[in-house]
Structure 1
Amino acid sequence: MNTWYRGAPAPAYFSRIPGFFGYSQNTFMRQLTIKLPKGHKDKVLETVEEFQGKNTIHLPNEEHDVFMIYLPNERVNDFLKKIDQYEEPEINLIPRGVITLYPPASESPDQVADVQPKSSLEIYLGGIQSVGSMFGLFGYSLAAGIIVWIGLFTTTTYLLVAAMLVAPFAGPAMNAALATSAGKMPLLKSSLMRYGLAIITGIIASLILTFIFPLKTLTPLMEEVSQVSKFALFLPLISGFAGAVNICQSERDSLVSGAAVGILVAASLAPPVGLVGVGLYMMDWQVVFSSLFRILLQLLGIHLAATLVFYFYGHVTPKGVRFLKGSYKTVVITSLVVLFGIAGMMYWQFSQPPFLRKASMNTELAEVLDAELQKLEYIKVLNKDVTFSNEKLDNKSLARFEATILAKDTTITDEALKSAVINHLKQNMDYPYRRDIYEVYEIRVVTD
């Protein structure tokens, strides 16, 4: 026999609610235990029926009624809102899927299909619970900064992936978006503060290591990471969308783990954070500004995409979560700031060629190079590439145009062939912003 509060034995009986067997959209349920003063039993059972609960258990007591209720994920928040009118309830919510089986037995496979998103209440409370301790935030940020610095210094790509696993950037970024959709300014300020502390800790770790082990020049991986693509906005938008959907979905409704989504969020943050510390030590402001550009763009893009998912898919709105009482003014103002911030950064990126578009211009210019080389009938192009350096010459970004060619006419000397190819490229290559790029050519002639 179970003993409940005040030592009163609790005789239990199941309250079978008619009409539930026809419920077509079955899900894993959420288990709630609710304690109310006596006198509301019938109203509570009617409310449970209204919100399509299953297998309700009523445990009467001398002064209270206790109900064990199993509700679909998405209906928990609205159910609790309605229960509030029956005096202040005491509630236990278990945020885990519960399998409810009920007649007819032939429908059991359909009854365990977990296809509904979490309730807005569970999404919001889950976000708050994921904040964690400040010690953990600093510790993981420091570890991520050290790992990413070692990876950049030794040109070891898999260490960058390891840093993405450790970096605690996903949580604050998701909580900031959750705060915006809910209109909660205190949570937004706290999340942004934690995000900033994580970033600064990673930068300081990288800076200290660079002081201890000084660098004279950037490694090839550092140069590669420092270059920004014109498609840089797509990654944070996709990351924010995937992260928010993962939080909203029921735990058994996705083949993608939360850890994998966290890596996606941190993928474009951990490397530039480590690179800022290196750039500050070397006073390479191109590296510093390009890395800071990516860090800020990631936050804004993740914030925008995740906020939209939380608001429209998760139904986390200022009035959509029980007891929340957020502000629509916060939603509007924060969203406008994010939108104008993204617009301003996009204008900056495309008005400063090729500074913030080197990663994608490499490919674009390689296509231009190949098109011109194919026009020369006396050579066979074996390989071609264009790479940008972080150095400048005559106040222009330095780009190296490389090609490996095979001469079809063996009567032409290698030097004459190189000279002819370079002159052709200088006179005929045409692409936007050529006046902003200092071209350097490296043509290699091979023989068969």
Structure 2
Amino acid sequence: MRQLIIKVPKGNKEKILETISEFNGKNTVDLSSEKEDAFIVYLPNEKVNNFLKKIDEFEEPEISLIPRGVITLYPPASESPDQVADVKPKSSLEIYLGGIQSVGSMFGLIGYSFVAGIIVWIGLFTTTTYLLVAAMLVAPFAGPAMNAALATAAGKAPLLKSSLMRYAVAITTGIIASFLLTLIFPLKTLTPLMEEVSQVSKFAIFLPLVSGFAGAINICQSQRDSLVSGAAVGILVAASLAPPVGLIGAGLYMMDWPVVLSSLYRILLQLLGIHFAATLVFYFYGKVTPNGVRFLKGAKKTGLITTIVVFLGIGAMMYWQFRRPPFLRKASMNTELAEVLDTELKKIPHIKVLNKDVTFTNTKMGNKSIANFEATILKTDTVISHEELEDGIIRHLKKNMKYPYENIYEVYQIHVVTD
């Protein structure tokens, strides 16, 4: 339930009370005086927007909406547990206005983005994973992403432009911070964590879709109905944005264009995926539509065109990702090729596989990406020498390993041990 304080010109008392009853208002308090009619009203969340549209019929209504959950108890007392448990999503008006209020100052946006860029660079440089999580906490990427989706659902072009501008400012600031640190503390080669972060998985699209869905649900749900904190959802939104933002700065300094390109790909894919999923949630669940929010008067054309562009953008990026493996699929192809490696190693007699792994580097041999096939083998036949066994395993793998990728240059590291 939401508490509203309403003030209208004198003479509308009965009509206001009828309207309150029509929209299931409870525990109404009449504060009318000789000059004006005023009321404290408690309404179900989903009724607030339409109620406010209804009282627009009265001359110059003054409204105060308190955006916090209120527990209303009313007769019969036996129904109190059900009354308390009746938790509804926020009204479309509150969702939209709440998004606008969360914009914050430009100074804060730039400051937090710069700090996040510094933290993520330190984490990448020192190979410290928990610093990447800290950068996700600080990075202010969730707000602009959610507001852009709100703008699309509501058909508000000015808010969409403002949100995208803030999003671009936040990302650019993080890149600049990372670049400056790399300039001060020069890097000659990528760290192992940088190599790992630079590689994209074929499942990369799922993270922004899930992030956009979770972020929008968190904004739409009332405070008492939300099972996850806003900070946790913010981390989810920034989870795949902060690391590549920091990596671009280092990649630009080193002029490592494959790293820069793959990071830009991830950032753009995240923006499109989050935007698409969040827009659908706001439109269908939050009821934030061009004509569904009081005061709004958005344009359906704006929302429709933006959604189509985003959808086509996602399709184009997915086509690009799957058209030429392994450039934008290395993170998942590692696992696929490791399974092929394990299958072939198990066919070789007199050995036991202790460990196997496949990793891609960002270097190429000719026009092919280098994949390092590595395995630790326990020799069970003492007659065969280590060198003969290693050579035999490599020959077997080169001859028998089959996978649907052509532009891969295979490198083998076989380590034979004895008990």
Same fold flag (TM > 0.5): yes
SS of structure 1 residue aligned to 2:29: strand
State the Cα deviation string for residues 26-68 of structure 1 (Å, max 9, x = none): xxx1111111111211111111111000011111222210111
Aligned with 1:189 (options 152, 158, 161): 161
Deviation at residue 106 of structure 1 after TM alignment:
2.2
Distance 1:127 1:327 in 2: 18
Contact 1:114 1:252 in 2 (8 A): no
Q: Which residue of 2 aligns with 1:208?
A: 180
Partner residue, 2:34? 62
SS in 1 for 2:354: strand
Aligned letter for 1:33? I
CA RMSD of superposed structures (Å): 0.7
- C-alpha distance in 2 between matches for 1:349 and 1:114: 46
Residue of structure 2 equivalent to 1:3? none
Check if 1:441 corresponds to 2:412: yes
Per the alignment, residue 279 of structure 2 pairs with: 307
1:114 CA drift (Å): 4.6
| Alignment correspondent of 2:138 | 166
| Counterpart contact for 1:114–1:253, Cα < 8 Å | no
Distance 1:269 1:114, change over 3 A: farther
The answer on whether the counterparts of 2:28 and 2:42 sit within 8 Å (CA) in structure 1 is: yes
Of 138, 145, 153, 2:110 maps to 138
CA contact (8 A) 1:401 1:441 kept: yes
Using the aligned pairs only, state the percent identity.
Answer: 79
Structure 2 match to 1:401: 373
Which whole-Å CA distance do the structure 1 matches of 2:171 and 2:81 have between them?
47
Determine the C-alpha separation between the residues in 2 that align with 1:115 and 1:355.
Answer: 47
Q: Distance in 2 between matches of 1:74 and 1:336?
A: 29
**Cα distance in 2, alignment partners of residues 385 and 32 from structure 1:** 62
Matched position secondary structure for 1:101: coil
1:40 is matched with 12
Q: Write the letter of the residue equivalent to 2:413.
A: E
Any conservation in 2 of the 1:227–1:359 contact (CA below 8 Å)?
A: yes
What letter corresponds to residue 260 of structure 2 in structure 1? Answer: V
Which residue of 1 is the match for residue 197 of structure 2?
Answer: 225
Q: Which residue does the alignment assign to 2:312?
A: 340
How far did 1:191 drift?
A: 0.2
* TM-score (normalised: structure 1): 0.93
- Pairing 1:271-286 to 2, within 5 Å after superposition: 271-286=243-258
- Counterpart of 2:171 in structure 1 is 199
Quote the offset at 1:408 in angstroms. 2.1
In the other structure, the counterpart of 2:268 is 296
Partners of 2:183 and 2:253 within 8 A in 1: yes
Whether 1:83 aligns to 2:58 is no
Superposition deviation, residue 378 in structure 1 = 2.2
- Check 1:151–1:114 CA distance in 2 against 1; reply closer, same or farther (3 A cut): farther
Q: Is the 8 A contact 1:418 1:443 kept in 2?
A: yes
* Per-residue CA distance 1:162-188 (angstroms, 9 max, x = gap): 000000000000000000000000000
4+ aligned runs moved over 6 Å, structure 1 = none
Distance 1:114 1:213 in 2: 57
Residue identity matched to 2:294: R
Task: After TM superposition, list the pairs within 5 Å mapping 1:98-137 onto structure 2.
Answer: 98-137=70-109
Measure, in 2, the Cα distance between the counterparts of 1:88 and 1:426: 81
Name the stretch that deviates more: 220-229 or 399-408: 399-408
* Partner SS for 1:98: coil
Q: Is the 8 A contact 1:236 1:298 kept in 2?
A: yes
Q: Tell me the distance in 2 between the aligned counterparts of 1:110 and 1:143.
A: 47
Counterpart Cα distance in 2 of 1:87 and 1:305 = 39
SS in 2 for 1:112: helix
Deviation at 1:274, TM superposition (A): 0.1
Answer whether contact 2:372 2:412 (CA < 8 A) is retained.
yes
Counterpart amino acid of 1:239? S
Q: What is the distance in 2 between the residues matched to 1:317 and 1:324?
A: 9
Equivalence map 1:370-385=2 (5 Å): 370-385=342-357
Aligned to 1:251: 223
Deviation, 1:409, is 1.6
Query: Hey, what's the Cα distance between the residues in 2 that align with 1:80 and 1:115?
Result: 20
Query: Post-superposition shift, 1:223?
Result: 0.3
- TM-aligned CA deviation for residue 105 of structure 1: 1.9
Q: Deviations over 1:97-152 (max 9, x none)?
A: 11111112222222222520000000000000000000000000000000000000
Once the two structures are superposed, residues 322-342 of structure 1 have per-residue CA deviations (whole angstroms, 9 ceiling, x without a partner) of 010000000110000000000
Structure 2 residue 299 is matched with structure 1 residue 327: yes
The one-letter code of the counterpart of 1:98 is V
SS at structure 2 position matched to 1:383? strand
Which has the higher mean CA deviation after the structures are superposed, 374-383 or 331-340?
374-383
Cα distance in 2, alignment partners of residues 193 and 78 from structure 1: 32
1:304-339 Cα offsets, whole Å, 9 max, x none, are: 000000000000000000010000000110000000
Matched position secondary structure for 2:383: coil
SS at match of 2:96: helix
Counterpart code for 2:290: P
Work out the CA distance in 1 between the residues paired with 2:104 and 2:177: 21
Deviation, 1:377, is: 1.5
Contact 1:114 1:250 in 2 (8 A): no
Assess if the C-alpha contact under 8 Å between 2:380 and 2:418 holds in 1. Answer: no
SS at match of 1:96: coil
- 3-state SS of paired residue (2:169): helix
Residue 388 of structure 1: aligned partner: 360
Q: Which amino acid aligns with 2:227?
A: L
The letter for the 2-side match of 1:300 is L
Instruction: Quote the residue 1:418 is aligned against.
Output: 390
